């Protein structure tokens, strides 16, 4: 019974290793090496029933990829399998590296694409879907040109607005916003310090019934409750143009008093 359970567990583990990037022989060799701790090619051949001529190139490849290391024990060459915990560390390092270069990759994709993509989101569900897309985009900052009040009118459900802010803060996504200076917007700006947000004021005469939000290589146009839609444009050219316009306005905009 014990042997059966061990074989059953090995099948499950082997499937996991294959999903990680091993082939069937590599997973067999790694598991044998893991059990042995340190093993010669001859011993590995007996344990796996694979010929040494097959084992040598596979072991060389696994060593190059960091799953085995060579060691000398009393003049004999042995192979030691790396601990399984190193797999998770490598996955975390890869994810971190990929997230760091994601904006650059998206930029290349957007600027070399044949045409801009346009997506329409409508109503409360559309508003929710749009923010989920932004949260999963990997961006760490976005900028928006808004009246603040108009976007709140789009979705009247207060819990959804709070959910957007809470999720953004949990993910560490910062925002910069330009908005007209008035009594209502001052109340919004007063919450900047604890909402990962920085605001600057435009003239009180500026009319912004719709909100323009730029993140990564995409631009969202969020309309009022009357039109009830979010128009998302995926275009590196448009995003760069509007972000540059935003930055120009940002420089001359009024910094709120503390």
pLDDT single digits (tens) 112-156: 444 468 888 887 778 888 888 999 899 999 999 998 765 655 555
- The helix (H) or strand (E) run that includes residue 138 is none
Q: Residue 145: how many CB atoms within 10 A of its CB?
A: 20
- The helix (H) or strand (E) run that includes residue 221 is strand 218-222
pLDDT single digits (tens) 83-99: 877 777 777 777 777 77
Residue 67 is classified by DSSP as S
Give yes or no for a contact between 164 and 143, defined as CB atoms under 8 angstroms apart.
no
Strands 229-234 and 218-222: antiparallel
All domains in the chain, ordered by first residue: 2-82 (1.10.10.10), 99-252 (3.30.870.10)
Strands 174-180 and 141-145: parallel
- Average pLDDT score over residue span 194-204: 91
**CA quadruple 218, 223, 227, 230: dihedral, nearest 10:** 20
pLDDT band at 199 (very low <50, low <70, confident <90, very high): very high
Burial class (CB in 10 A: 0-12, 13-18, 19+), 79: buried
């Amino acid at each position: 019974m014990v042997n059966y359970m061990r074989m059953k567990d090995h099948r499950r583990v082997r499937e996991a290793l294959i999903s990680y990037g091993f082939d069937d022989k590599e997973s067999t060799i790694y598991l044998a090496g893991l059990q042995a701790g340190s093993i010669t090619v001859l011993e590995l051949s007996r344990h796996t029933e694979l010929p040494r001529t097959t084992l040598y190139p596979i072991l060389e490849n696994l060593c190059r990829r960091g799953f085995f290391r060579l060691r000398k024990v009393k003049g004999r060459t042995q192979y030691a399998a790396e601990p399984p915990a190193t797999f998770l560390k490598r996955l975390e390092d890869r994810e971190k590296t990929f997230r760091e270069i994601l904006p650059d990759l998206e930029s290349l994709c957007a600027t070399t694409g044949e045409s801009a993509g346009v997506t329409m989101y409508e109503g409360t569900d559309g508003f929710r879907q749009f923010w989920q897309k932004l949260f999963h985009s990997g961006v760490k900052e976005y900028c928006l040109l808004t009246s603040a009040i108009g976007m709140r009118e789009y979705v009247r459900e207060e819990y959804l607005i709070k959910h957007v802010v809470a999720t953004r803060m949990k993910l560490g996504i910062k925002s910069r916003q330009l908005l007209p200076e008035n009594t209502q917007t001052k109340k919004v700006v007063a919450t900047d310090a604890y909402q990962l947000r920085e605001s600057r004021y435009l003239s009180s005469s500026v009319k912004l019934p719709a909100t323009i939000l730029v993140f990564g290589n995409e631009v969202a146009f969020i309309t009022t409750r009357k039109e009830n839609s979010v128009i998302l444009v995926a275009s590196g050219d448009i995003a760069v143009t509007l972000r540059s316009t935003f930055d120009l306005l940002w420089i001359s905009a009024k910094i709120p008093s503390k």
